[in-house]
Structure 1
């Protein structure tokens, strides 16, 4: 089954959910704010998606970080930031079971 990682208030996440619903695809919804992000889940995602692909430097959360936090460039430091602030993950993240798709634009799920 597909798993869609979202923040429920995110407009792009809503579009992704609608795209899956319109195609009649079953999926499990995981809200990163409500359901959280564990170290284990982050590692599962990172097995199939690059760390910098998951990091959303355009988010409000990123803009609110201190300059020293933004200067973090080690993988461990970035992982810690993502675990501390799950809203730093670019959304939505779709786990198809075979691949991870980060972000959404119209038509991205047409091949599912």
Structure 2
């Protein structure tokens, strides 16, 4: 099974993560989060597969998240509404996302990524 790396190339954390993957010799499919925004079906699968709440998939540091005042709105939204919103714009999605061996890693944590890849 190949690994999937979802990134926004201008994001410095994504750049660090990509460099780390390359240094580890981990092969992966690279996907631009804005040009190929995750679909609602993918997002639902990742949220369910990760065991994380949907809120963890939002880019809470992003300008779009802040301008839409989502901090105050998410709690009142259903899972379906949150997924539809995430699927509407890749800039709302936290990145990088690394999917390997059936594990979904959101945000870059080298130890977590290494454990997921080796499992």
Q: Could you tell me the TM-score, scaled by structure 1's length? A: 0.84
Q: Per the alignment, in what secondary structure is the counterpart of residue 47 of structure 1?
A: helix
- The reply to whether residue 93 of structure 1 matches residue 97 of structure 2 is yes
Distance of 2:108 and 2:70 partners within structure 1: 30
Runs of 4+ in 1 over 3 A off after TM superposition: 67-70, 105-112
Shift of 1:40: 2.1
Q: Is the 8 A contact 1:3 1:29 kept in 2?
A: yes
Q: Is the 8 A contact 1:93 1:100 kept in 2?
A: yes
Q: Is the 8 A contact 1:62 1:70 kept in 2?
A: no
Shift of 1:29: 0.7
Match of 1:16 in 2: 17
Residue 71 of structure 1, aligned match among 64, 73, 98: 73
Distance of 1:70 and 1:79 partners within structure 2: 17
Q: Is the 8 A contact 1:56 1:90 kept in 2?
A: yes
User: Quick check: which one's helix share is greater?
Assistant: 2
Q: In structure 1, list runs of 5 or more residues that go unmatched.
A: none
Distance of 1:41 and 1:110 partners within structure 2: 23
Q: Is the 8 A contact 1:56 1:88 kept in 2?
A: yes
- The reply to whether residue 58 of structure 1 matches residue 89 of structure 2 is no
